Amino acid sequence: MAAARAPASFHRCLTVLFVLVAVALLLSACCAEGAAAAGGKATPRRRQLLRQRQVDYHLRRLNKPPVASIESPDGDIIDCVPISSQPAFDHPFLKDHTIQTRPAYHPEGLYDESKAASSQKDKQKITQMWHQNGMCQENTIPIRRTKKEDVLRASSVKRYGKKMHKSTPNPSSIEPDMLNESGHQHAIAYVEGDKYYGAKATINVWQPSIQQGNEFSLSQLWILGGSFGQDLNSIEAGWQVSPDLYGDNNTRLFTYWTSDAYQATGCYNLLCSGFIQTNNQIAMGASIFPISNYGGSQYDINILVWKDPKEGNWWLQFGNDYVLGYWPSFLFSYLADSASMIEWGGEVVNTEPDGSHTSTQMGSGHFPEEGFGKSSYFKNIQVVDSTNNLKAPRGIGSYTEQSNCYDVQNGNNGDWGTYFYYGGPGKNPNCP
């Protein structure tokens, strides 16, 4: 009897074994995601699935449901998002925030320039490329849609929309070696030693060429508070070319902010919660045109950042007509009161190793000596004082790490007020 039963139980055993193996195979094939979440082994496929999920989650958070979408000739999609569903309101401190539709105060002197602008009305005004195909309606704001490729180009999903590392050295105190190590190169003018409540400049617009995809070239102003240690506060705005961030070489309007020296807080444009946009005509991170030509037509943009003395918010204005929105003062520590330093100028990233230099251009790619129409400029440089007045900066200094690669030259005259030419080609016989 025992001998007769043996084959039956042997078969049962085989069947059970077969079912178990089949189930195991099925699990590993179709449910890798579940197994991964349960803490399975880190296979390449699991990593890929996790990243996929992270990217999708990030895209859902960044791209709010639009009421309309506009396709720009440069390939961007501009989403018109209800003003109250913009990314800023994901911030826990902004849950019950009442949007300030306009600043309580403009700095005095602001509107003087509308006269200057109308005197050259024959000249084409700088605008954004997507305007060719439509505009966003009232009570919405235009947001450049983040595409999957944009996030996938970043070194990690978490770093998407953030600067690579500390980028603004204190001209007087940073170790020169650290600058070479970080690869960030500047040609800037600056003021310090007072309390500043804003800054303004007219910035010449160019399209510098970028040698490596992970390098960038930008021209901007910095509103800085605190030391250059771990808790640096910075508000930044200007134009940039950044293939890594945008996937092309277009010149784009951008902003940045951080309250901890580019570590955990802050980002470009609206790529995190913080900046509250109120304007329905200008999209942060969108391409601007026309661009200046070497020896030909010159174009420039006005950027003004100032602190509203009533509410304490830092407002941003682009051109003479567009008040774009504000950074609430609670985002910052030092800048909650005032700025201690202002910088204006160019910055590039050099990723070439071993002391060799990138050929990524700054400004027009030409040195200050070449002057108007050839070298890039900042003009009508002003600061906002404690009485909310725009005035010429006093005691302006300049700084560059390697003047043979990128240089800066200050000047002053009746037409342009305080100005400087800046930039250069990077790699050249004197900057190997």
Ligand X SMILES: *[C@@H]1O[C@H](CO)[C@@H](O)[C@H](O)[C@H]1NC(C)=O
- Angle 333-304-162 (CA atoms, 0-180°, nearest 5)? 55
Residue 138 vs 177, nearer CB to ligand X:
177
Site string for ligand X, 387-406 (x = CB under 6 A): ---------------x----
Answer yes or no whether residue 75 interacts with ligand X by CB under 6 A.
no
Minimum distance from residue 431 beta carbon to ligand X (Å): 8
3-state secondary structure of 193: strand
Of 96, 122, 149, 177, which one interacts with ligand X (CB under 6 A)? 177
- 187 contributes a contact to ligand X by CB under 6 A: no
Choose the catalytic residue: 236, 369, 370, 401. 236
Let me know if 347 is a catalytic residue. yes
CA gap 189, 344 in Å, rounded = 5
Is the CB of 180 or the CB of 280 nearer to ligand X? 180
Q: Which is nearer to ligand X, 180 or 338 (CB)?
A: 180
By CB under 6 A, which span of 214-222, 223-231, 244-252, 287-295 interacts with ligand X?
A: 244-252
Verify binding: residue 209, ligand X, rule CB under 6 A.
yes
Which residue's C-beta sits nearest to ligand X?
355
Rounded Cα distance, 61 and 119, in Å: 45
Q: Is residue 127 at the binding interface for ligand X, with CB under 6 A as the rule?
A: no
Q: For residues 100 and 214, which CB has a smaller minimum distance to ligand X in the complex?
A: 214
Judged by beta carbon, residue 180 or residue 227, the one nearer ligand X is 180
DSSP state of 108: B
The answer to whether 307 touches 290, Cβ cutoff 8 Å, is no
Does the protein bind ligand X through residue 248 (CB under 6 A)?
yes
Active site residue 236: yes
CB of 350 to ligand X, least distance (A): 9
Residue 82 near residue 67 (C-beta atoms within 8 A):
yes
CB of 96 to ligand X, least distance (A): 42
How many C-beta neighbours within 10 Å does residue 152 have?
13
Task: Please report whether residue 210 would count as binding ligand X according to CB under 6 A.
Answer: yes
Part in contact with ligand X (CB under 6 A); list of ranges 88-96, 172-180, 318-326, 327-335: 172-180
Mention every residue, 6+ apart, whose C-beta is less than 8 A from residue 79.
Answer: 63, 64, 66, 68, 69, 142, 143, 144, 145
In whole angstroms, give the CA distance from residue 273 to residue 144.
15
* Residue 96 lies near ligand X (rule: CB under 6 A): no
Calculate the CA dihedral of residues 414, 416, 420, 426 and round it to 10 degrees.
-140
Region of 67-75, 230-238, 246-254, 301-309 interacting with ligand X (CB under 6 A): 246-254
Contact characters 345-384, ligand X, x per CB under 6 A: ----------x-----------------------------
Query: Given 347, 352, 370, 401, which residue is catalytic?
Result: 347
Closest CA to 256 of 272, 278, 242: 272
Distance CA 315, CA 305 (A): 6
Q: Nearest-CA neighbor of 410 among 402, 400, 420?
A: 420
- Calpha distance 106→110 (Å, rounded): 7
What contacts 366, CB < 8 A, 6 or more positions away?
Answer: 294, 374, 375, 376, 423, 424, 425
Q: Which residues inside 294-323 make contact with ligand X, applying CB under 6 A?
A: none
Task: Work out the end-to-end distance of the chain between its first and last CA atoms, rounded to an integer number of angstroms.
Answer: 92
The residues that are catalytic are 236, 347
Q: State the residues that interact with ligand X by CB under 6 A.
A: 176-177, 180, 209-210, 243, 247-249, 355, 402
